[in-house]
Structure 1
């Protein structure tokens, strides 16, 4: 029944009757979502008598004392760019149900024109700073000014709310008590939150009118959410606390806050069925040049890693390049299969697979304690060393085993490839990413007498084995597999480090053009992506 209602909403997002039907569907399942749907029905209803009836239903639910829905406090930081701030605030007024929100604006010393306009707005709480305190500190000011009991919605001022944007986010936030925060798709957003093809406001509006629907099939668990539109449940932010101001003037405070939400036992949910326009970079672009911005990002990324005690990006980014093998095998996203990831980090690849394939079962093993403990709050992850576990005693079997940047760290990679056959189902497959020691960024310095070890990349000092394409084929062949497909990740040719000079390309090209050397593509391959099938 719910699918039919969602389809009807997508055909006419402003039809109040659809939300009444949805409220009736949820009344015995999730009273919070029933309440939110009634509220949305009242927002779209034009008939005064019907509005009165809906209000009576809302009051009845409130009197039951069984709902926990709170208002949303929009916290918007203003720094210059008045035209964007105007658009943002006006979009809230137009698209959000009156009485469901309040607007708090923190102005970081924008100047008299911006301040004058903000002071004219009667429906906002305004905080005026005499100096630019940055994003985290400014947001914390806004959070402190929020009405008691309200949820906190951190919203960039270079955004435009669209029809049902707030409604869809609140429906996700109250879909389960385990949800701590929710985020939206945007027109210019990283982290898998960019909705493709949204180049104009008109395209975004058209998309929202067809897709901003509260269908839970569009909910994806995420390790972190981008803070351009970040709705946090009241009881969660009270437990987690304020944004960490060590990241001022801004960047990576949203990654940090998302991890703190997970650390406290809650989930971050990305709503694929909620679009918010995000023009992107309008705050920092007025205060920094591109190099300064990149330097700031590098500095704050370092602060994030130092705070958590591990490389957050390395252990927290999903491996789309490895998931692509599975998607090629399973064009039907209703397929049922099982996946084990060895060295799964915080589980970002596994939860991405779960979103793409709702019927899949996933399990992860991670050697590092901190990423494993965080990931265990959102995914089936165990702490362990794959070179010490008894593969024959594992109770589960799998269709896929993923080794993303793992094989080069193993003491006995051949042994692991043989042992993991015990838990691979018939025709099961291994998917792996393996760095290529023949890459030009290694060979050119090596021929000049240098092999500098690094903290990451091909020359990572923790690598115990180095691999070429022929070595990879040899290992899988000896261990009972047949390689089905090999892909290469390739870096754009450039001066990649201080050991490569512009003139080096001339003599290196002459060298690899010789008939005695391997084919040129093997020097350009930075990493090999391999899918190998178990042989009986």
Structure 2
């Protein structure tokens, strides 16, 4: 049965849950902006105060349109949100940081996207200050200018939304029925951080879709809760990341990268093109999901050794938890693109794998690959000084088995039979000391340009 867009006003009714812990001025701006810009949706505001001492409690109790619950201690973000959700009486739950300022038609538009189909479980906006690709460059210098900026965004991008693996919890709108299904926020992540990742993956795991509204902009100050206590914040990140990895079996940061630098190598296809794309080492499938945003008719395939992250990708792609160095079960001449993002250096025999993968590409299909450059000045400087120390990430990642220079990359792709090989690169800022090293290395090298010493990673597009 075809799903009909839901327009019943009662479906759009929303309980807005806000946590406060001091920072009264931010709270006042946030709540006043809701009052000013949310006249087109039925809503209630629930404020959970986590032991404020700066006059916030007194101000909250003087506001007749707020539902306020006070905590004698700061119970943290997940537990406070859960208290607010349990007090909520509306059809949807919106978790909103108190250091935000909302904009015209924000909630109506987000609820419209939320109910575009039966599978969407949660939506979020774009902003000026946020992680996981939700932030955009901004040009305003005041809140008045920000409101006009947001109107322009809604006008220019109206109707644009995209699927995401996760949404950041500074502003996330969730169907109440979804929370009833998956449960409340996991309070082991108190006082905060990674509870929104956990909530997002639980929704995806249950088959719900998450959408980012490209036409809704909300201002977010950010980092208000911890203020100057940045060392405490980073310690909390480390602790909660470990809790997340223990619960889910994968690193959420690494496993949700969207490899935009490789996606820019895709040909200019019509958006309705029925592409077949295979990603080797797809993790949770964030890059594949972005391909689906661009090409809705694309068939997505993945190979991923980690069964926990592959289980997430399997909710929207055909993923096998297997080793790419073993025989593959796909038909030959099948894929338009095969993506190897930081994969070849992890393989025992990347030459054999690459030659084998060529068989599964259509004639005219492409391998898109990113490969670290061992000739980067930082690696050569360490080697000259007698050091080849493996690290947790980077050029000398302890999980790297093979190492490449541009010459060796070119030789590998040529020997595997690829044609029309195009190379680009990513580079990291280098210091003045690095530049001195590069000048010295060039005196000993056949290379007359410093480029190969600056390149951190090569991007390869190679055709069958």
TM-score by length of 1: 0.79
Q: Do residues 270 (structure 1) and 212 (structure 2) align?
A: yes
Post-superposition Cα deviations, 1:422-448, rounded to whole Å, max 9, x if no partner, equal 221222111101111222332222222
2:299 aligned residue (350, 357, 361): 361
Distance 1:120 1:29, change over 3 A: farther
Q: Find the structure with the greater CA-based Rg.
A: 1
Q: List gaps (5 residues or longer) in structure 1.
A: 1-27, 40-68, 495-501
- Cα shift readout 1:181-211 (whole Å, capped 9, x = no counterpart): 1111112222221233253434442344355
- Flag the 1:312–1:80 CA change in 2: closer, same or farther, 3 A: same
Q: Distance in 1 between matches of 2:139 and 2:15?
A: 27
Alignment CA distance shift 1:524-1:471 (3 Å): same
2:28 to 81, 86, 99: 86
Corresponding residue number in structure 2 for 1:302: 242
Distance 1:411 1:208 in 2: 51
How do 1:342-491 residues align onto structure 2 when only pairs under 5 Å count? 342-390=280-328, 393-394=330-331, 397-491=334-428
What's the secondary structure of 2:93's corresponding residue? Answer: strand
Confirm or deny: 8 A CA contact 1:183 1:229 kept in the other structure.
yes
Which one of 262, 269, 277 corresponds to residue 339 of structure 1? 277
Distance 2:71 2:328 in 1: 60
> How far is the alpha carbon of 1:298 from its aligned partner?
3.2
Provide Cα deviations, 1:289-345, integer angstroms capped at 9, x if missing partner.
Answer: 33443333333333322322222211111001111111xx31764555332211111
Structure 1 or 2: more helix by fraction: 1
Rounded to whole Å, the distance in 2 between the matches of 1:207 and 1:312 is 32
Residues 1:484 and 1:514: Cα distance change in structure 2 (over 3 Å):
same
Q: Distance in 2 between matches of 1:264 and 1:134?
A: 26
Aligned mates of 1:278, 1:464 — CA distance in 2:
42
- Matched-pair contact (CA < 8 Å) for 2:160–2:214: yes
1:485-509 CA deviation, whole Å, 9 max, x = no partner? 2222222235xxxxxxx9x859844
How large is the Cα RMSD of the aligned pairs? 2.7
Give the structure 1 partner of residue 451 of structure 2.
Answer: 521
Q: Secondary structure at the match of 1:110?
A: coil
| Aligned position for 2:133 | 192
Distance in 1 of aligned mates of 2:359 and 2:158: 36
Report what 1:9 is aligned to: none
The reply on whether 1:530 has 2:440 as its aligned counterpart is no
Structure 1 distance, partners of 2:243, 2:377, is: 32
The answer as to whether partners of 1:212 and 1:273 remain within 8 angstroms in 2 is yes
- What's the secondary structure of 1:275's corresponding residue? strand
Alpha-carbon distance, 1:402 to partner: 0.7
Residues 102/379 of structure 1: CA separation in 2 closer, same or farther (3 Å cut)? farther
The counterpart of 1:252, out of the listed 189, 194, 198, is 194
Q: Measured at CA, do residues 203 and 383 of structure 1 come closer, stay the same or move farther in structure 2, by a change above 3 Å?
A: farther
**Alignment pair present for 1:315 and 2:244:** no
Report what 2:8 is aligned to.
35
Equivalent-residue separation in structure 1 for 2:372 and 2:286 (angstroms): 21
In structure 2, runs of 5+ residues without a counterpart are none
TM-score computed with the length of structure 2 as normaliser:
0.91
Matches within 5 A, 1:65-214: 69=11, 71-97=13-39, 100-147=42-89, 150-199=91-140, 200-212=142-154
Aligned residues: 462
Q: C-alpha distance in 2, partners of 1:86/1:378?
A: 41
Give the stretch that moved more between structures: 453-462 or 122-131: 453-462
Q: Match of 1:11?
A: none
The secondary structure found in structure 1 opposite 2:264 is: helix
- Contact 1:220–1:272 (Cα < 8 Å) also in 2: yes
Q: Is the 8 A contact 1:267 1:378 kept in 2?
A: no
1:168–1:213: 8 Å Cα contact kept in structure 2? no
User: How many angstroms does 1:29 deviate by?
Assistant: 6.5
